[in-house]
Amino acid sequence: MVEIFAVKLLKQDVFFNKKTDLLNKLPASLIEKFNNYAHNKNLQRTIFGELLSRYYIGLKTNTDSRNIFFNIGEKGKPFLQNSNIHFNISHSGEWVVAAFSEKETGIDIELIREPNYNVAKRYFSEIEILNLNSTSDPERKRQLFFDYWTIKESYLKAIGTGLTKSLSSFTVLFNEGNISITDDVNKEDLYINQFDFDKDYKLSVCSYEESILKKIQTIEF
C-alpha cells in the first residue's frame, strides 16, 4: 500500500520561533548542519521533509525520530538500511509531500505557474511536444505541461535513476483516464496516479506497488 502524507509550510516568523523545537526531533548531526543554513523557505522545506519521513518510519518501527538514519543510494536517493519501507519526498511552493510503500515509489508535486515552454523542447518526447503544441486552450496547455512534468519526475524517482536518465527518453500517455509510460529501456510495470490535492498544484505518484491510498493525509504542525 502506498501512503501519502503532506505538511504545509509555516509562516516564516512562526517557523523561526519553532525551529529549535523542530530540530530537536532530528539527529544531532542534522541539527548542527541546519543551524548553519539561512532562514528561508528552502530550509523549512528541507527540515519538514526530514521530519515527515521520520514521522512515518517512527510510527511503523516504534523508533525515536532522532535515532533514524538514512543511507544515500548511488543516484542520490535516500533509503532506510535493512528495511522494507521505501519513501520519497517532494516539495514545491507551500507544500512538502512524501510517499511511503513496501516497494520503490516516486512522488512529485509542482506549483502550477506559467511554464517556460522551451523547456518542453529539451525534456519532453516528440509525442508529448506534439500533444502540448496541439492544445489551443492556454489553461489546459498549462495543466498538461505540469501533468507531464510531475509524472516524469515521479517515474524517474521510482525507478531510481533521477535525472541521470533523460526526461525525453520515455513518453507519458493518457488513454481514457488511464496513465501509462512507454520506455524502451525499462519494461517493468509501474502504477501511476495523480491527485486533486490542491487546485494550484499538480501531484503525481509512480510506484511498483499497485495498491495506493487515495486520500492524502495532511499532518498539522
Each domain of the chain, given as residue ranges in start order, spans 3-218
Task: Please indicate, yes or no, whether the overall pTM of this predicted structure exceeds 0.75.
Answer: yes
Amino acid in the structure at residue 63: T
Specify the pLDDT at position 63.
92
CATH number assigned to the domain with residue range 3-218, chosen from the 4 options 3.40.640.10, 3.40.30.10, 3.30.70.3270, 3.90.470.20:
3.90.470.20
Dump pLDDT digits (tens) for 64-121: 999 998 888 776 778 888 789 999 999 999 999 999 999 999 999 999 999 999 999 9
**Can you say how many angstroms the Cα of residue 66 is from the centroid of all Cα atoms in its chain?**
23
Specify the pLDDT at position 161.
81
Report which of 2, 91, 85, 10 is spatially closest to residue 50, judged by C-alpha positions: 91
Specify the pLDDT at position 218.
94
| DSSP-derived pairing of the beta strands 3-8 and 95-101 | antiparallel
Which is it for the CA torsion 73, 4, 53, 34, positive or negative? positive
Residues 6 or more apart in contact with residue 176 via CB below 8 angstroms: none
C-beta separation of 71 from 77 below 8 A: no
CA dist., res. 89 & res. 92, Å (int): 11
C-beta separation of 168 from 122 below 8 A: yes
The conformation of residue 24, written as its DSSP 8-state character, comes to T
Specify the pLDDT at position 186.
76
Each residue's pLDDT expressed in tens, for the chain with a length of 221 residues: 999 999 999 999 999 999 999 999 999 989 999 988 877 889 999 999 999 999 999 999 999 999 998 888 776 778 888 789 999 999 999 999 999 999 999 999 999 999 999 999 999 999 999 999 999 999 999 999 999 999 999 999 999 887 678 899 999 999 888 899 999 887 778 999 999 989 999 999 999 999 888 889 999 87
In the numeric block, which cell numbers belong to residue 180?
A: 501509462
C-beta separation of 37 from 8 below 8 A: no
